[in-house]
Amino acid sequence: MKEANVIDVRNWATGIEARSKFLGINIDAYMLIQQGEIIDITETGKAVFEDNIAQKLRGMVGIGFSTKAAPITTLSFAVGTLVGLNVNPGFGVETWVGDESNVFQKGEEEKFWSNASLAYRLRLDFNIGSWSLGVHYQVPSSGFSYANHNYERLKPIWDEGKVGASFVTSFF
């Protein structure tokens, strides 16, 4: 795992998380939003963004299972794929799945979906009433996908793991 500076705002993001359970199977999704990296300012005062990305929306969609670990805790594991949207300053959107190199191109949908690589997420929730405070660890696989189904690629890339936290309330 890479060392991160806790105070650096680029290491923090806000977003939305949705969880559902159907027949004992969890369906989880979350999406975080971050501003792109400003590398310069034009003479007219407009920001110039690294890689021309003004907003980054990143998340994961997965399926998995959960179990009560103790009276107020739930331990969950999910397998899914990372997803993202890169928005440029003119509001053009680039959609990716698996990793940022797998970008959607019209007419190449089959290639796009078959290259969606797996990722893993382990989460521990502390449940108090309808509130849940969660801590998770997410790590991508070594590129396992339908198009690249070498079982060696199922291994996690531990150096790219990320720790996160969430605060969720139940609606139903």
User: 142-154: per-residue pLDDT in tens?
Assistant: 989 998 888 899 9
**CA–CA separation, 123 and 138 (whole Å):** 9
Element (H, E) at 35: strand 25-35
Strands 14-22 and 162-169: unpaired
The pLDDT confidence band at residue 7, using thresholds 50, 70 and 90, is low
Q: Which of 77, 60, 31 is nearest to 118 (CA)?
A: 60
Mean pLDDT of the chain: 87
2 falls within a domain: no
Q: What is the CATH number of the domain that holds 70?
A: 2.40.160
Q: Which tens digit of pLDDT belongs to each residue from 74-96?
A: 999 999 999 999 999 888 899 98
Residue 3 lies in a domain: no
Say if 41 falls within a structural domain: yes
Whether 4 is in a domain gets the answer no
Look at residues 171, 134, 162, 167 and name the one whose alpha carbon lies nearest to residue 60.
162
What's the domain count of the chain?
Answer: 1
pLDDT attached to residue 6? 55
Residue 88 φ/ψ, nearest 5 degrees: -85, 170
Displacement of CA 150 from its chain's centroid (Å): 23
Contact between 105 and 130 (Cβ < 8 Å): no
Displacement of CA 92 from its chain's centroid (Å): 21
**Structure confidence at residue 29 (pLDDT):** 93
Backbone angles phi, psi at 99, to 5 degrees: -150, 170
- Expressed as residue numbers, the domain containing 84 is 9-169
β-strand 118-128 against 73-87: which pairing, if any? antiparallel
Residue 130 lies in a domain: yes
Percent of the chain clearing pLDDT 90 (strictly above): 41
pLDDT digits (tens, 9 = 90+) for 21-40: 899 999 999 999 888 888 88
Please indicate, yes or no, if residue 83 is contained in any of the structural domains: yes
The predicted model gives 51-56 an average pLDDT of: 87
The dihedral built from the CA positions of residue 119, 28, 1 and 85, taken in this order, carries a sign that is: positive
- Residue 3, pLDDT score: 56
Query: Which pLDDT belongs to residue 155?
Result: 94
